[in-house]
Amino acid sequence: MLDAATAVTTPAIIRREDYRAPDWLVPEIALDFRLDPAATRVTARLTVRRNGVHTHPLRLDGDEIAPLSVSVDGEELHDAWRMDGPALVIDLAGDDHLIETEVQLSPETNSKLMGLYASGGLLCTQCEAEGFRRITFFPDRPDVLSRYTVRMEADQAAFPVLLSNGDHVDGGELAGGRHYALWRDPFLKPCYLFALVAGDLAANRDSFTTMSGRNIDLGIWVRSADLPRTEHAMDALKASMAWDERTYGREYDLAVFNIVAVDDFNFGAMENKGLNIFNSRYILADPETATDGDYDAIAGVVAHEYFHNWSGNRVTCRDWFQLSLKEGFTVFRDQQFSADQGSAAVKRIEDVRALRAAQFPEDAGPLAHPIRPESYIEITNFYTATIYNKGAEIIRMLKLILGEEAFRAGTDLYFERHDGQAATCEDFVTAMEDASGADLTHFRRWYAQAGTPRVKASLIAEPTGGRARLTLSQTVPPTPGQDTKQPMPIPLRVALLGAQSGKPLGPERLIVLDEAESEVLFDGLSEAPVLSINRGFSAPICLETDRSAADLAFLSAHDPDPFARYEAMQQLMLDTLLAGVRTGTVESESVVKAVRNTLTDPGLDAAFVGEAVLLPSEAFIAEQLDEIDPDAIAEVRESLRRTLGTELADLWQEIYARNRANRYEYTPSAKGSRRLRSVALGYIAVSGDEDWASLALTQYRDADNMTDTIGALGVLTNNAAPEREQALADFYERYRADPLVIDKWFTTQALASHGDTVGTVEALATHPDFTIANPNRLRSLVGAFAVNQRAFHDPSGRGYRFVADMVLAVDKLNPQAAARLIPSLGRWRKFEPKRQALMQAELRRILDAPGLSKDVFEQVSKSLG
């Protein structure tokens, strides 16, 4: 028999179908913070109103807080309230009341980084999804919208800056070296958008004039030493504000927009109303410490959080099952923004690569879920690539199907109809239907069904010429809880190219495959056709075609759609690699020819070429196989890489020399050159060239920017050379004072494809600069290692053990961060039997550990399924 101490309760499952409107609303809330890192007092005054006719008590969520006092309508209650687990329950007779509670918090010991916590001398908050209940008792659900007044009081020397949402309406000095600030947010918001920050911060200040002529004060708040590194984020913010006006007609609404950068943060950034809080890695940049990729990510995340002001804040989510309503749409908006800032084709390639790296495996594994899930145990586990990235693909498909104008009419209607409301995905689709007149009944399946559809396409041209028949079929694979699926409406951009001329045979067509099978006829063809399909990655699917290597090579050279050219090359490489894994020999000829052709095509820009000549990742190759042998994949890929290096050695050298920049510039063309040059250096390193290491070391030494520095360091780390240790040691010494750069030092080693990476990573985990308390640092070593396919899957099982040990250690401090490490172990079913057993054993060891968080419990139990 279990006694109370050892009894294990299974965490509750929350279901979408159980949604009920809130029993009580909270139209107004006044919060009073007496801030102190060790003991912060929070008083909350809530005006509550009964919602509808019922006799349910007022239930206020709490998490690791205890009431010091509770009063109703000015009278302290001593026994008319009770705790139901973590929640505070009060029986109330009438319909309108004023509830006051007081709690005490200890931000400096809050290692979960949810609620009010300390980071590098600052006090800050994170409330999405359910952190507000760690600050005060409240109905912590996104459909309870309130007007906030926030008073903050703190020691003036330690916390000279006091920020919250909305407008600063009052402030001043108090006795005893203390001061206060009063903030009022005129907009209704759910509590997950509440934020405050207190600390010794300096602002990069600027302003923006909106389309209606209003002046907005902008501030990016950082440690004063970091001010010079905020220019890029500020530029991105202003560009985002203008873009959202131009593209969606959305104007900013408050008089102030503040951003604060903090070092300890569980995610990328947070869209709190008028006070975005960012992980410092998505704000701070200068050429010496940030790569081109970092610059792009900063602009993308700044835009994303800014765009949430409409898609997320003005219109929020009814419940957390609707998360993709704000996230999928906002990712789509930030992708569009970034595409408009530089090369749209390269941006699309990057987005598709990210989707395939993170979302396709998720959709094919034990944690697969639709973009609108049906149930969860811990909502934080659902901030996934599916909700975000697949969610964005679904909005992209809507736009493609409806057309530019109808899509914009749909978003206008959605914003207008639901402004100030907590809406659902269904509301979004209905607005799209109402504005366009389209019937989206079948399209809704994209919200309900998980799994990446597999589409087969085959083009048969009549031998006599003139006509061709395209046969299409689809299947959607079973996913947990969904054994059978209905066909999805799959929009495919299709063109036929003339096999001789390389010219399109007629205009591109949009074919929506809405059935399990379908046929499309093409006539009037003047030449034998080659099929170009799913152009621009018009649907997030796995495509199977019977196109030959010659067809793919042809498309990689002639397709006028740059994304389709990239795809054709990827498919050609993938087919070659998969055949290599199957047979043990790599028939590299057509890939070599196609790569040579791309490298020598004067019409292509460097950024595109840099992407197009990269081999598919080991993980992507693995995705295509029923049983994964990571060593076989790595060897075949390495072999093709070496062949490309040797066969095209002169070209790589020439490209490397040609793309040498004189002085750092942040322009699309300079970025493209840097990218291609590092790719070329990688190929030179595997080409057998004797001087590769000195070339890399020279690049490392002469670099005037982090892209070139880390590009060279990566190549040295991935190959055997004495210069490797020298460069790593030098890098560490040079940047040891800069945590964001030291993260790169850890990551470069965790991703190494050469040497004893498992041993190195185990040793780095004991390095004085390693800590599991900082999510960036944890990710830089352990998160990176877990996606290094070959090293993580070391046949000894040491990689699995290392990650499982980390999960158990991190879970005690920060369950969210621990749970994020599970998916790589969770993919055990895809591996050969020995690794399967080792991975399962580690998952079981985690599951058996006492006191597991529900975050980790959910991911592990579902993974073992």
Binding site for ligand 0A1 (CB under 6 A): 114, 126, 128, 266-271, 304-305, 327, 380, 383, 816
Give CA–CA dist 746/28, Å, rounded.
Answer: 47
Would strands 490-498 and 509-513 be described as parallel, antiparallel, or unpaired? antiparallel
Partner in contact with 266, chosen from Zn ion, ligand 0A1, none, beta carbon below 5 to 8 Å by kind: ligand 0A1
Give CA–CA dist 136/45, Å, rounded.
Answer: 10
Give min distance, CB of 211 to Zn ion, in A: 24
CB closer to ligand 0A1, 125 vs 687: 125
Residue in the block written with tokens 């057509």? 590
Give min distance, CB of 191 to ligand 0A1, in A: 14
* Residue 390 · residue 359 · CB < 8 Å: yes
CB closer to ligand 0A1, 279 vs 659: 279
How many CA atoms within 13 Å lie on the side-chain side of 767?
19
Give min distance, CB of 530 to ligand 0A1, in A: 41
CB atoms within 10 A of CB 84: 10
Which residues are registered as beta bridge partners of 97?
A: 48
Taking Cα atoms as reference points, which of 272, 102, 99, 277 lies closest to residue 190?
Answer: 272
How many angstroms separate the first and last alpha carbons of the chain?
26
Give min distance, CB of 835 to ligand 0A1, in A: 32
Alpha-carbon distances of 92 from 21, 23, 97, 98, 462, rounded to whole Å = 18, 12, 8, 11, 78
Residue in the block written with tokens 């996913």? 479
Partner in contact with 321, chosen from ligand 0A1, Zn ion, none, beta carbon below 5 to 8 Å by kind: none
CB closer to Zn ion, 149 vs 330: 330
Taking Cα atoms as reference points, which of 212, 181, 194, 290 lies closest to residue 738?
Answer: 290
Give CA–CA dist 245/494, Å, rounded.
Answer: 32
Strands ordered across the beta sheet of 196-199: 115-119, 122-126, 196-199, 161-164
Position closest to ligand 0A1 via CB: 267
CB closer to ligand 0A1, 271 vs 575: 271
Give min distance, CB of 128 to Zn ion, in A: 9
Give min distance, CB of 317 to ligand 0A1, in A: 10
Residue 21: cis peptide before it, omega within 30 degrees of 0: no
Give CA–CA dist 87/283, Å, rounded.
Answer: 37
Give CA–CA dist 365/87, Å, rounded.
Answer: 35
CB closer to ligand 0A1, 267 vs 785: 267
Partner in contact with 164, chosen from ligand 0A1, Zn ion, none, beta carbon below 5 to 8 Å by kind: none
CB closer to ligand 0A1, 271 vs 292: 271
DSSP symbols for 429-484: HHHHHHHH----TGGGHHHH--S--EEEEEEEE-TTSS-EEEEEEEE---BTTB-S
Give min distance, CB of 443 to Zn ion, in A: 23
What is the helix (H) or strand (E) element at residue 491, kind and residue range? strand 490-498
Which residues are registered as beta bridge partners of 475?
A: 454
Give min distance, CB of 671 to ligand 0A1, in A: 25
Give min distance, CB of 274 to ligand 0A1, in A: 15
Taking Cα atoms as reference points, which of 675, 670, 608, 609 lies closest to residue 346?
Answer: 608
CB atoms within 10 A of CB 91: 13
Give min distance, CB of 657 to ligand 0A1, in A: 42
CB closer to Zn ion, 287 vs 300: 300
CB closer to ligand 0A1, 276 vs 291: 276
Under rule CB under 5 A, which residues in 751-790 are in contact with Zn ion?
none
# of chain residues touching Zn ion (CB under 5 A)? 2
CB closer to Zn ion, 384 vs 699: 384
Partner in contact with 126, chosen from ligand 0A1, Zn ion, none, beta carbon below 5 to 8 Å by kind: ligand 0A1
Alpha-carbon distances of 111 from 194, 264, 864, rounded to whole Å = 20, 10, 28
- Residue 649, both tokens: 């050695």
DSSP state of 634: H
Partner in contact with 128, chosen from Zn ion, ligand 0A1, none, beta carbon below 5 to 8 Å by kind: ligand 0A1
Strands ordered across the beta sheet of 96-105: 75-77, 69-72, 96-105, 40-50, 24-34, 146-155, 178-189, 167-174
Among residues 130, 305, 433, 842, the one annotated as catalytic is: 305
Which residues are registered as beta bridge partners of 126?
A: 115
Angle between helices 630-647 and 562-583 (to 10 degrees): 120
CB closer to ligand 0A1, 270 vs 352: 270
Give min distance, CB of 518 to ligand 0A1, in A: 37
CB closer to ligand 0A1, 65 vs 193: 193
Residue in the block written with tokens 């006051």? 100
Contact string (CB under 5 A) for Zn ion, positions 309-338, x = contact: ------------------x--x--------
Give CA–CA dist 128/270, Å, rounded.
Answer: 8
Question: In the annotation, is 305 catalytic?
Answer: yes
- List residues binding Zn ion (CB under 5 A): 327, 330
Q: Which residues are catalytic?
A: 305
